[in-house]
Structure formats: structure tokens, C-alpha cells
Chains A and B, each alone.
Chain A
Amino acid sequence: MAKVLMKGNEAIGEAAVLAGCRYYFGYPITPQSELPAYLAKRLPEVDGVFVQAESEVAAINMVYGAGSAGARVMTSSSSPGISLKQEGISYIAGAEVPCLIVNVMRGGPGLGNIAPAQSDYWQSTRGGGHGDYRTIVLAPNSVQEMADMTITGFDLSDRFRNPVLLLSDGVLGQMMEPVNLPEPNDYDINSKKWALGYRGNDKNERNLCSSIFLDNDELEEHNWHLYQKYQVITDLFSKGEYKDFAVEEHLCDDAEIILVGYGIISRILKTVVEKCRKRGIKAGLIRPKVLWPFPTAVFERLAKTASQFLVVEMSCGQMVEDVKLSVDGKKPVFFFGRTGGTVPSDFEILNEVDKLVRPD
């Protein structure tokens, strides 16, 4: 298939269709509105269902319903809308229903503004709603990855019966880059034997999707069951088949200072690394592509060789805490952030690097 120049938001929509997703429920909010607009047009072409819900709360609960009935289903929003969805995400995680949730992050707290931000890292990687649960969090940094990770996200969510969050930001959502779209995947709605409405001959008992366990022992058993599932997922990303998928390393082997960033920031950091190298500064880049489970191992390994780390985020410092946990005090971890919708320039980051490597 030839490359297509697409917006990030549109690439997610097309990739979802190609992944067999036929159900979208959402509510308008900037800067993700191109995605519902794309699917409102595209889904009817493939006999799919697009519903503009009355709220993000309703939308995520429609996702819960469709997911529990066996659909490949998605919703999308931007930060304030994702806050509203947290109730539903908690139920979906508790009932172990697969779905894909896209957050095209904007600035907060509150209404904040519509400009790009990365200030929902904590909300995304710590569950987000009430209760002891996790969502798998994927962090693309290009329009191509917006498409690729949409497909990976559906696969992971079905495999683990767990919600997957695609964590993007306003720049990635709005920008256009060439995309190679994959071949379409035929998804069979009757492939999930646990789903409501499944009618295979092997169905003996009725199916139930629920997150209520009123008995203490039953809930504790369910909580540990979820925890064990999260351990399996963590292993898969730290040493299993998704090990290489989870993190990108760039010129780290001999690096004295390692820059750390995800999403759009990682692209800017790559330019900073190039500029550093031209100036004789041995800089490298770690880009977590998966934010939960966090790629801890790469930091443990590189903390032995690098002298220091500089984490750059469009927030006041959120992922930096996971980096510090991973580096575990072995090397200093510094932070540089811009917020309010300002994307830091390569020059100001380079200036920060200068201050660290040439403190005089």
C-alpha cells in the first residue's frame, strides 16, 4: 500500500477500521475532534456503528456495553473528557472487558487550554479511576506509530481482556506525516466465548460481565487475579515478546548524559542528541514507547554506564518519578519541563544539557 499523508487523529481512525474495529462512541472535544469526524464518515462505509454520545461518561459506558458484547470498540477524548471517563474505565478494568481509549492530551488542570500537554501521565499510568487496576499505556511519537499502536492496542486489549490507553498529545493528533497503512484484519465478533450474546454450541452457562464482588474474600481473590495478570503483562514487556517494542534507545551505549522523553518530546530530544553529538557532548536518548508497564530494565542497565539523566516532559514532572524509581538513586536524575501548551524547543533543552554537562 502506498504512503498516505494523514493527520495523527485520522491515522488512528483508519488504523482502527483496519484492525476490525466497527464501533466508536465519543463526544466532541478539542484537540481530538478529527478522530470522531473521520470515523463518523468512515464507519458507515464498513457497516460499522458511530454514536455521538451525550457525554464522555455515556460514551465510555457504551464502550463497556459493546466491549462486553464482544466488539472491538474504541472511544477517544482529550484530557478533561478522559477525566469523565475514569468511572467507566474502572468498571471496564474490573469486569475485564477489552477496549481502546485514545487520549489526545491537552493542558490542565480544569479546563486548562486546548494546546498540547503531557500532564495526564500520572492519571494514565496509575489506573486513573478508583480501585486497584492498571491500563496498558502506549505512547506513539509519529503519525505512523499512531496507526501502528492503534492496531497493537486492540491486540493487547483482546489478549489480556484489559483496557489499553493510547496516550498522544495535541501535536501528534494534529500533525500530518506519511503513513504506511497495514492490510485489513477481519475480526470475528463471535471469537470471544466469554462475551455477552455469544451463541456458540460450546456455551454451557450464561455469560456475565460484572465488577461487583460483595463478599470480601471474593473481591480479594479477584484483586489478586488482576494483579497476577498485570505481572504477566509486565513480564511480557520487560523480558518477553514485547521487550523490543517497549522502549527505543538511541546512542546510549557511550552516552554520558541520557535524555528521556516520550511522545512528541522524544522527537525533539532526538534533534537535541544530534546537536549535542556535533558539539562533542556524548548524549543519548531513552524513549519509553510503553508507559505502563514502565520499561524499568533499560534504566537499571544504563544507570551503570551513564553519568546522569535528564527527563523532559510537557508537565511539571510526572514521568520523572518513574525514571527516578528505575534509576534507584544510582545516578542523578534531572528534570526540565514546559507546560501550558508550550512545546519546548530544541534550543532551550540544549541549554539545559549545557548547564548539566558544563556546570561552570
Chain B
Amino acid sequence: METFTQITSQIIPLLVNNIDTDQIIPARYLKAIDKNSVAEGLFADWRYLPDGSPNPEFVLNNQLYTGAQILLAGNNFGSGSSREHAPWALTGCGIRCVISTGFADIFNNNALKNGLLPLTITETQFIQLLTKLQEDPFTKVTINLKDQTVLIDGEVEFSFEINAFAKKCLLSGIDQLDYILSFEEEIIQFEHQQV
């Protein structure tokens, strides 16, 4: 898995609550059997017009955000289906961090396994970020995972919480399956007891 230590980028604001995985990637893009070809489906119903051309009003199509790696979304991001295609589509389009006041459980788990940081902030911090973006929509923000801080212009804006194990995995790119398989002995023992 790709490691995550620190990124500096503009923030793409997508201030809608309850963005579900059907919006992140509609079901018709789930027929792929690899991970790489799902990126074109990211937010497809919002990103493209009915004739297939880019919707100029959708924020991701704004040239000024080209290359941005951080998405700021409304509350309860990633609810709905368990499709891991959602984080694949996001990372496939260069997003490395989604900031929200809350994430649905399965999305949160899926993101962490793909080097995508689901960054949960408080409502106050959310408003703080919004205010900064109002002052300068293209302001660059740094996310430092080791220190668990969000910085603007080199100054710490606030710090955030993250589960210690998830942090360790992201920082050093630990593969969770390798971790599980390191307990092979214990698994065998457990299976014996279970009959």
C-alpha cells in the first residue's frame, strides 16, 4: 500500500451532506474486474452532462483545482454500499485525503486500506476551514499525519484524531493481510478449538 506521511494541496470543496457511494461511483461503473478502470466513474452523474461532456458547473471540472489532492465534503461521507470502488475511484483521480465531520464505517475502512486518509474533524474545525477557503478559495493546506496536524501557511490550524493502528499502517504502508497472516499459528489453533 502507498504510504501517507504529508501532503500539501488545495482543497476541493464539495459541501454536500450524506454523499453516498452511489454518488461517488454509480453502479454501472462496477462491472470492471480491475481497480484501475473505475476512476472515470468518479461522481459520474455530477461530473458529466447527459451527453457525456464535462459539466462545467461541477467543482471537480474546475481547471483551477487540477492536481488538488484534498476533498472537503459534508457530513456522513461514503454511506451506502460497501463498494471499495469508491476509494479506488477517488485515489484514481489523485485524491489522497477526504475531510469531513463524519464518515460511514465501511467507507472509512476501505479508504484506509488504499492509502486514502479519511480525516474526521469537528464542526468547529469544519467552519474554520470554510472561513479560510472563503478568504482564499485556492489556499494550500498541509496535512501532516505524523503530528496529526492541519497547517495553513506553515502554521498549525488544528490537530486531528486518528486511530493509532490506522495511523501506523498509513505511515509505514503496512499491509493488513500480512499482519493477519503473521498469526497463522493462532488461527490454526483457533480452528482446532472450534471443531
A binds B: no
Interface residues of B (CB under 8 A from A): none
